[in-house]
Amino acid sequence: MDKTPPTMPRQSWTFSNEVNAEIRRAAATGIYDIRGGGAKRRVPHFDDLLFLGASVSRYPLEGYRETCGTKVTLGTRFAKKPIELDIPITIAGMSFGSLSGPAKEALGRGATLAGTSTTTGDGGMTEEERGHSEKLVYQYLPSRYGMNPDDLRRADAIEVVVGQGAKPGGGGMLLGQKITERVAGMRDLPVGIDQRSACRHPDWTGPDDLEIKILELREITGWEKPIYVKVGGSRPYYDTALAVKAGADVVVLDGMQGGTAATQDVFIEHVGQPTLACIRPAVQALQDLGMHREVQLIVSGGIRTGADVAKALALGADAVSIGTAALIALGDNDPKYEAEYNAMNTTAGAYDDWHEGRDPAGITTQDPDLMARLDPVEGGRRLRNYLSVLTLECQTLARACGHNHVHNLEPEDLCALTMEAAAMAQVPLAGTNWYPGKPGF
């Protein structure tokens, strides 16, 4: 009998079970993995920042008595009719097609109850969404699916989408499973085929062209609508500066944790920068141009709590936008559907095959039976509640720092827990007065 102590089986860090499973999946199918959502890898984020709070040098505001404003006005630069929001949190663009009609209605209802805006997405404007959204931003995308001047005029703002955080430089693909007659009709394509959303606009390239495109959109809509330009978080300083140069009223900056309906996993995880790393360069660009607060900055990508909202505002954003969190508020990835997630070889919280159209929560689907599971009225109420909590949390933190408006939050209110976060947010590492790259050190 061999008495040699056995070697402990050792898993490779490089070839982990997760990595090996993906290799086997790729070998079996010959197709890269497509999924929804944003980057799942751990990246420096708002969790790595802390508020300092009031002290001897600063006094706080009374939490339940003293006012802390949350209103925000977007589009003050050129638009005749800027958008006035009660809260600094908006709903990001998500397409009808990737989302069901009831889901779009629920987003509109929730946003309206909370006094904020929602955004269309690829695939055009639906009656569900326009009818239930007091303030609706109409996305102008490379595919131009469903684009028409009538909807452009009945929008409250126009968002020219250059890129998104999940896939800067990439287009999209709505797979045939979700292309019902209604979705296909809105996109002028046959039922059941994969629908490619192009990665760049068909009739302009570069910032000089973009300036003319914005001119055209303003001329068509009588210079009434705020024009947003949405960019993915890749080169935030230059993209922001060029968007301003092109005439944007608002810049929407989406970091790599921002979600998508369907994109290659390799794209989501390996292209773009974390949201935290994008904000300061964008704000710097606005400041260098003398446009901070005149051109508003909306930040998105991984906003989950009022703390995230407050930290983004403290770093210089005027508002934030939520997508994934809004879907979770509606019921996406709810553990009550665990058995159904298990049947699809996944689990609640990890379900991301939104493109397959089998969402048990009835949100990322066009299946009539699944869609019927989402009550848009109840969904809207849940979203309103969630937006209210985000706002209350943000106010709580702002008051603790002594501010009577959430826009008065500033980088000096923050410190960082890690060197990486300190470098990205350009706020001192906790316990020091230093951050990597700080001038003078």
Partner 1 sequence: MSTIDMAQTPLRQVNETLQAQALAGANAEYTLDNPRGAHAVAVGLNGPLSVRVNGSTGYYCGGMNKEATITVTGSAGPGVAENMMSGTVVIEGDASQYAGATGHGGLLVIKGNASSRCGISMKGIDIVVHGNIGHMSAFMAQKGNLVVLGDAGDALGDSLYEARLFVRGSVKSLGADCIEKEMRPEHLTLLADLLAKAGADAKPEEFRRYGSARKLYNFNIDHAGEY
Note the residues at the interface with partner 1 (CB under 8 A): 29-31, 143-144, 147-150, 152, 173, 175-176, 187-190, 192-194, 196, 198, 202-204, 209, 212-213, 215-216, 219-223
Cβ 165 to partner 1, closest distance in Å? Answer: 24
Q: Which amino acid is at 130?
A: R
Beta strands at 172-174 and 72-74: parallel, antiparallel or unpaired:
unpaired
Closer residue to partner 1 (CB): 142 or 380: 142
- Best CA proximity match to 89, nearest among 329, 341, 373: 329
Closer residue to partner 1 (CB): 264 or 296: 264
Cβ 202 to partner 1, closest distance in Å? Answer: 4
Number of other CB atoms surrounding residue 64 within 10 Å: 6
Closer residue to partner 1 (CB): 34 or 361: 34
Give the count of alpha carbons within 13 A of 246, CB side only.
Answer: 29
Closer residue to partner 1 (CB): 74 or 186: 186
Inter-residue contact 311 to 46 (CB < 8 Å): yes
Give the residues across from 89 on adjacent strands.
320
Closer residue to partner 1 (CB): 151 or 410: 151
Number of other CB atoms surrounding residue 224 within 10 Å: 16
Closer residue to partner 1 (CB): 169 or 222: 222
Cβ 198 to partner 1, closest distance in Å? Answer: 7
Closer residue to partner 1 (CB): 220 or 377: 220
Number of other CB atoms surrounding residue 84 within 10 Å: 13
Q: Strand (E) positions, 176-249?
A: 195-197, 227-232
Closer residue to partner 1 (CB): 190 or 437: 190
Cβ 277 to partner 1, closest distance in Å? Answer: 33
Cβ 26 to partner 1, closest distance in Å? Answer: 10
What does 259-316 look like in DSSP terms, one character per residue?
--SSEEHHHHHHSS--HHHHHHHHHHHHHHTT-BTTBEEEEESS--SHHHHHHHHHTT
Cβ 148 to partner 1, closest distance in Å? Answer: 6
Closer residue to partner 1 (CB): 194 or 338: 194
Cβ 162 to partner 1, closest distance in Å? Answer: 17
Element (DSSP H or E) covering residue 322: strand 319-322
Judge residue 121's burial from the number of C-beta atoms within 10 Å of its C-beta, 0-12 exposed, 13-18 middle, 19 or more buried: buried
Inter-residue contact 83 to 138 (CB < 8 Å): no
Cβ 302 to partner 1, closest distance in Å? Answer: 29
Annotate 164-176 with three-state secondary structure: CCCCCCCCEEECH
Cβ 372 to partner 1, closest distance in Å? Answer: 27
